[in-house]
Chain A
Amino acid sequence: MLELGMALFSGVTGALVVASLPKATERLRRAVVLLFSVTGMVFSWRVAIKIFNGGNIGIIAQLGGLTWSLDPDPLGAMFGLIASTLWVFAAIYSFGYMERKTRPQTYYAFFLISLSATLGVAFSGNLLALYFFYELLTLATYPLVIHERSADAVKAGRKYIIYSLSGAAAILIAIVLTYIWSGKIDFASGPILVNTMRPGLNLLLALFVGGFGVKAALMPLHRWLPAAMVAPTPISALLHAVAVVYSGVYGILRVVYSVFGRELMGTLSLARKLPWVAAFTILVGVIIATQQDVLKRRLAYHTISQLSYILLGAFTLQPWGLGGAILHMISYSTLKVTLFFCAGIIAERADETAVSRMQGVGWSLPKTMIAFGVASLGMVGMLPLNTFWSKYYLMRGGVQSGQWSLALVLIGSGIINAICFLPTVVASFQGEKAKSSGETGGNTMLMLGPTLCLAGIALLIGLYPGIVWPGVEAVVNRFF
């Protein structure tokens, strides 16, 4: 109870404190932001550990004639744990990144509100709470997307809002239909639609997947994501590679395993086509990524591709597939945030955003480019990095579901990933050696520290996947 509340409200409380502080107190503001994100992280960890050990924490409230339920299961706890942990890294990185940027107060306030909204999505125990926090997350992150206030930013913000709200509208219709057909909306007592056999289930699934698929950037609903890259880099890293897009992915996972349930999914004709939608997104997303010259756009298309790995694992409806999906949620997020952080450092320190002009950047930012290289190798799925394990279990899931060609898709995507990132790393070490290092100066450690730390975590999980295994096992056991 207490843990759940503390985790959920630390963000909002922190945002109120930040908003009420006077404008000129940069250091105090940083301290507050750090304090409240760490609080959020610590309590999400405590929630998660309790849940993984079989405990039960729930808050159910009647409000306005509706039942609101916060009742995380292992899946939600895992999502909350990933998001809140990365929030702390992104907060520290932001301290460095936002030093010379405008409107830090607005930035940090909405940054913290988004934490609460994300944890709300993660901990929601019924469709209503999920929908509420999902919409709240859209609204809380909109100011962050248009933070620059440039024409591009406003345009991207409009795109983001239109896409997200249309998706949410589809979800709302689907939720109403679900309630009419089954009379239930809570996740705790097994899949909602478990004994419902009626026409129209395919349509319902399409509405759900289409609705959540907007945030999960399932092709062809992905267009907002590359546009939203005008946001400050920590936001691109945290929200548009992890938290916001994961809320869409998490929604789809919920729909597949808690609304429909895997038995019912197995009988739907649409459900058999969904892995191939994900496979299409995986391949086309990463192929488009190789064509992008602006590094952040390349990363954005790459995000689109990688998110579908998770969906692919979920759509296989196999224990190993789901395990791989959860592992990929963990491992992809650490590496992708590393990549974005590196892109931010390159943009700030070397003033370079185009891949084709990276020559020599590596000599002035060696540590950054090494972290970038490590993360790139991870994206290929090479072994000392954690993404190998997720890919391994996703492939096993694909084989287990009888569709071994899904494993080939993952291998093909690995090769294209190598084409996408490794030449950038190599090229950055070609060309003139820089005279001075760009990695010195006051705020560099604030940006470089989290980056290197995350790359280290990725390596550690890769060598010893046992540390995240209990969580993955708990999620898989919840649904199988």
Chain B
Amino acid sequence: MFLVFLVTIPILGVPIWYFKRDSSINIPFMASAALLLLGLLGFKDVFTGSALVYKMALSGPFSPSFRIDALSAVFVLLASFLWLVVAIYAPEYMQHEGKTAGFELCTLLTFSAVLGVFMAGDLITMLLFFELMTIASYFWVVHRWNGEAVKAGYFYLFFSIIGGLFLALGIVFLGSSGQPLTLGSGAVGAFEQPLSIWGIVLLIAGFGIKAGMVPLHLWLPHAHSVAPTPASALLSGLIIKIGAYGLIRVGEFVGWGAQLSGGTAFLGPGLISAGVLTMLLGVTGALLQSDAKRLLAYHSVSQMGYIILGLGAGLYLGTQGSYGLVGAVYHIVNHALFKATLFLGVGVIYTATKETDLYKLGGLLRKFPVTAVLMFFAVMGITGTPGLNGYASKTILHHAVSQAALAGTPLVVWAERLFMLVGVGTTASFAKLYYLMFLGQPTKLEVSGGETKQFQAAMSLLVAIMVLIGLRPGLFVRIAALPLAEGLGLANAGPALKGLNFWAVPDLVGMAVTLALGVAFCWVGLKSGLFHWQPPRFLTLEGLGMLIYQGFSSLFRNLSLIYRNTAVALKRRARVVRGRFLTLSEKMENPEAITFGNMSFSDISANTGLLMAVLVVLILVYTYKDLGHYVKLPIPLAKWIGK
């Protein structure tokens, strides 16, 4: 019951929202504060290994069930914290965007749906809240309701709908062998049927769409950049993490901490390669963007790649996979914190300049000193600078990948090399963002207004947690990650994680090299104009998709044209035949004169003539057929007509 109550807290805010007269009542703030408080108080036992479970007792095929284990608890707390921060930030910001009330409602409903996804106890309950979240957050994306927003909205809606349908089909396929798809019950048994393996693949694709896994990420840069900034922060900070959460749960069906073999053995390498591709494409896309929000959105793709890579390494390593899983979860938390900070910072600049194009901004350090400092922390976080939170999770992920590379195939070895390369790209793109925004030539735009207390408070909250994690990286691992990994079935996570040293010299040196190379690359890129390069259409996935779509639609158009022309021609032909038939029968009806060859039936009626003709034909046919009994004839009528 407690769990259902938690899910409905934001919905309880809806009536207040409807009846409130005073716009200073911040309902999302109250809801998220309540959740954070209740979560911190109520989830104590969860982290010691006992899950909270509640199943509604409804008759029929569906009764929602709810469950919180350590993994869910981490996500619920993270979501509540992010919503709290955004609730502090949004009222001030939305003054500049308009339609405050609608935004607030949407925030509440999405919050409830997100909590539902994290607390769901079986796949169908999860799908229910997943779809609700899609619908609720769609209104964030189309908030501005101009051409661009509607287009991005279509991208978002259609990709999400397809994701939902994939999940449904995956559930059907996976459930075809009769397992109940409840979460937290471990692996669903051997994957002997190809159908249940396809079920897993479909579930991964469905959650992968939400997670922005390449090539299913096309919607993400559009949707995350047109939404109002607080919504972008939540979309990038948390909503895409639902995809990652789903992937972890799918991993649970396959079995964390078990050496995968047979039909599911491809999942580890598959996820690793998907992760690396996502990282690479995301970071390349980010380097080429000129719009700050699009750059951040592409970076969400890239950072999701890290997370997917971690999950892949975790599955690949089987019993030793705790680094991969824990690194992924840790990175989810860290990415949520710094990506939200970055978006909120860009939003602060946007409120004052109404501009997010990086090449039109610059030199804003003087006017926005606090934002600049806070953004600098976030940039250090995302690039993995030691002392900030990104370093902690990237180190664990790097450990996981190198561990896999030791054991593994050339694919995984390449994954390790590309890991460093992506780090360089990340540093370069954020050096570019920071340089073009806060340093460099002062902007020519008119700057009105500046930082307010709410903006600073919201961002400082995030940065405080980031610094805390950065300085005490082991804390999260001890409190949350260890019970989480053990709860998911990684039995020997304890020794591996307790022996973790974050401050090993090779790691520090590696990071320093990455940072230096990144800054150098950024300098080269800015000087040479490399960042202005636009890839040709067929090289981008989006352009490729568009080309395929155009091919299909022209094929469809031509096919339907052919069909229509054929139909018209046939109809015309039929009309001609009907006309001839009519004239013929008119002639037959006409008793005056009919001529067959030389004979003229001018005196008898045509009907009689017709009758006679039929009789003659019948006599001929039956004579011929009768002959067939004695002589072999070229056309065997006797056989066809019968005796």
Question: Which A residues contact B (CB, under 8 angstroms)?
Answer: 291, 377, 380-384, 388-389, 391-393, 395-396, 399-400, 404, 407-408, 411, 414-415, 418-419, 422-423, 426, 429-430, 463-469
Contacts and interface: CB of A to CB of B under 8 A. Distances in A.
Contacts of A399: 172-173, 176, 195
Contacts of A384: 128, 131-132
B58 interface: yes
Contact of B58 (A393, A395, A466): A466
A400 B176 contact: yes
Interface string B51-75: 0000000111111000000000000
A426 B142 CA distance: 10
B158 interface: yes
Contact of A380 (B130, B154, B161): B161
Given A384-B128, A466-B60, A404 B165 contact: no
A466 B59 contact: yes
Contacts of B162: 415
Contacts of A404: 173, 195
Nearest to A469: B60
Interface in B120-148: 124, 127-128, 130-132, 134-135, 142, 145
Interface centre among A380, A383, A419, A422 (most CB of B within 10 A): A383
B168 interface: yes
Nearest to B58: A466
Given A384-B132, A395-B169, A396-B172, A466 B63 contact: yes
Interface in B32-85: 58-63
B61 A395 contact: no
Interface string B160-177: 011011101101110110
B157 interface: yes
B150 A426 contact: yes
A88 to B, nearest CB: 24
Contacts of B63: 466
B540 interface: no
A466 B61 CA distance: 6
Nearest to B194: A404
A156 B169 CA distance: 40
Contact of B128 (A383, A393, A466): A383
Contacts of B130: 383
A415 B165 CA distance: 8
B369 to A, nearest CB: 42
A469 B195 CA distance: 27
B432 to A, nearest CB: 35
A419 B158 CA distance: 8
B640 to A, nearest CB: 19
Contact of B161 (A382, A407, A468, A469): A382
A132 to B, nearest CB: 35
B32 to A, nearest CB: 23
Contacts of A382: 131, 134-135, 161, 164
Given A426-B154, A465-B62, A467-B60, A391 B168 contact: yes
Contact of A426 (B128, B131, B153, B161): B153
B169 A407 contact: yes
Contacts of B128: 383-384, 463
B164 A469 contact: no
Contact of A396 (B124, B161, B166, B175): B175
A389 B168 CA distance: 10
B565 interface: no
A469 B62 CA distance: 10
- Give 5 nearest A-B pairs by CB, closest first: A466-B60, A469-B60, A466-B59, A383-B131, A395-B172
B67 to A, nearest CB: 18
A389 B161 contact: no
B62 A464 contact: yes
Contacts of B534: none
Given A380-B165, A469-B60, 15 more contacts: A381-B168, A383-B124, A383-B131, A383-B164, A384-B128, A395-B169, A396-B172, A396-B175, A407-B173, A408-B169, A422-B158, A429-B145, A463-B128, A465-B61, A469-B59
Given A382-B131, A404-B195, A430 B165 contact: no
A415 B61 CA distance: 25
B168 A392 contact: yes
Interface of B: 58-63, 124, 127-128, 130-132, 134-135, 142, 145, 150, 153-154, 157-158, 161-162, 164-166, 168-169, 171-173, 175-176, 195, 560
24 contacts: A382-B161, A383-B128, A383-B130, A384-B131, A388-B168, A389-B61, A389-B62, A391-B168, A392-B171, A393-B61, A395-B168, A396-B176, A404-B195, A407-B172, A407-B173, A415-B158, A422-B158, A423-B154, A465-B60, A465-B61, A466-B58, A466-B60, A466-B61, A467-B60
A393 B171 CA distance: 11
A404 B59 CA distance: 28
Contacts of A380: 161, 165
A407 B173 CA distance: 9
A4 B490 CA distance: 63
Contacts of B195: 399, 404
A423 B158 CA distance: 10
Given A422-B157, A430-B150, A465-B60, A291 B172 contact: no
Contacts of A391: 168
Nearest to B195: A404
A384 B134 CA distance: 12
B58 to A, nearest CB: 5
A415 B176 contact: no
Contact of A411 (B150, B154, B169): B169
A464 B56 CA distance: 11
Contacts of B60: 464-469
B61 A383 contact: no
Contacts of B59: 466, 469
A467 B127 CA distance: 20
B101 to A, nearest CB: 15
Contacts of A465: 60-62
A420 to B, nearest CB: 12
Contacts of A423: 154
B162 to A, nearest CB: 6
A415 B164 CA distance: 10
Contacts of B135: 377, 382
A466 B62 contact: yes
Nearest to A426: B150
A400 B173 CA distance: 10
A388 B61 CA distance: 12
Nearest to B556: A287
A322 B127 CA distance: 24
A393 B61 CA distance: 10
Contacts of B61: 389, 393, 465-466, 469
Nearest to B171: A392
Nearest to B135: A377
Given A389-B62, A426-B154, A381 B175 contact: no
A418 B158 contact: yes
Nearest to A385: B131
A419 B560 CA distance: 18
A471 B242 CA distance: 36
A469 B58 CA distance: 11
A411 B165 contact: yes
A408 B198 CA distance: 12
A423 B560 CA distance: 22
A464 B58 contact: yes
Contacts of A393: 61
Nearest to A382: B131
Contacts of A377: 135
A414 B165 contact: yes
A119 B403 CA distance: 70
A15 to B, nearest CB: 37
A381 B164 CA distance: 9
Nearest to B60: A466
Nearest to A377: B135
B62 A418 contact: no
Contacts of A411: 165-166, 168-169
